[in-house]
Amino acid sequence: MKSKFSVASIMLMLISFTSVAQNNILVFQSDFGLKDGAVSAMKGVAMGVSADLKLFDVTHEIPAYNIWEASYRLVQTAPYWPAGTVFVSVCDPGVGTERKSVVLLTKSGHYFVTPDNGTLTLVAEQMGIQEVREIDEVKNRRKNSNESYTFHGRDVYAFTGARLASKTITYDQVGPKLPNQIVSIPYTKPSFGNGVVKGTIPILDIQYGNVWTDIDKKLFGQLGVKVGDNIKVQVFNADKKVYEGTVKFVNTFGEVTEGNDVGYFNSLLNFSLGINMGSFSEKYNVFSGNKWSIVLSKK
């Protein structure tokens, strides 16, 4: 268990935990895009397992091979789905290589079927590891699919996820139990000291150009900033300062006039930067990734 009291752990407590039994809900995520037939082939395989399944998506627009973003999108959405939901995430630069195929059961009762390549970093940390099992690819593989080495999403992950979600197999039947750990992508945790909060920019709110940090409400609270106060913000790309300015801390964008910069808590209750009716990212050339950091202090 980690010591930091994270936003997601708060959220999990808030969401009622009804059951860990699978609930026929199967949710797909991938970096396949929607222009070809790959996602549809996965769903067809699932419907072949059980026509009672209800199929949904997180997104299929994860940038190709971007495991970090795959990890982020899972933790952004999974807590809002009922316990028992099975997620299949296929972002797999190492398809056919040594990474294990696993199913993680979190303490919140959600299942994640995926290559164990870092995709589970954030859900494991924030939703808690209840149990990890390796997929037995002899038993849990689409019949006669052994000749295809390159589409485990269809032949192993969708197939296994569908069997699990529909209770065709129990969680135990996925395969042998592994130690309670998963492959994690290293990243710098946010911190407070000397009146300053430091964090990173894990991701952008792409559609609107808002900049999301990993500084949660509790950590931000150390600054003693209230709604309506000004905050001094510095953004760095590695060692280079990209932005320095003052933003007003608001509940909603409507509290400033159009075109003004704001700081606010996003839908995951993390501190974020935006512009009322504009794109902070585009205006200031601020982007996301493990090289991007942010420093906040009270003005």
Query: In the complex, what is the shortest distance from the CB of residue 10 to a copy of itself, in angstroms, rounded to a whole number?
Result: 9
Query: In the complex, what is the shortest distance from the CB of residue 263 to a copy of itself, in angstroms, rounded to a whole number?
Result: 12
Residue 197 per-residue DSSP state? E
Query: In the complex, what is the shortest distance from the CB of residue 197 to a copy of itself, in angstroms, rounded to a whole number?
Result: 19
- Please provide the DSSP assignment of 13-60 as one string: HHS-----S--SEEEEEESS-SSSSHHHHHHHHHHHH-TT-EEEES-S
Report the C-alpha gap between 87 and 219 in whole angstroms.
30
**What are the respective helix, strand and coil percentages of the chain, to the nearest 5?**
25, 30, 45
Burial of 218 (0-12, 13-18, 19+ CB in 10 A): middle
Of 183, 185, 256, 269, the one binding a copy of itself (CB under 8 A) is 269
Among positions 200-229, residues that touch a copy of itself (CB under 8 A) are: 203, 205-208, 217
Of 1, 3, 97, 179, the one binding a copy of itself (CB under 8 A) is 97
b/e sequence 268-279, b meaning 16+ C-beta within 10 Å: bbbbbbbbbebb
**Contact region with a copy of itself (CB under 8 A), list: 54-62, 166-174, 185-193, 286-294:** 54-62
Among positions 1-20, residues that touch a copy of itself (CB under 8 A) are: 14-16
Of 5, 149, 244, 246, the one binding a copy of itself (CB under 8 A) is 149
Of 112, 220, 236, 264, the one binding a copy of itself (CB under 8 A) is 264
Identity of the residue, 34 or 245, whose beta carbon is nearer to a copy of itself in the bound complex: 34
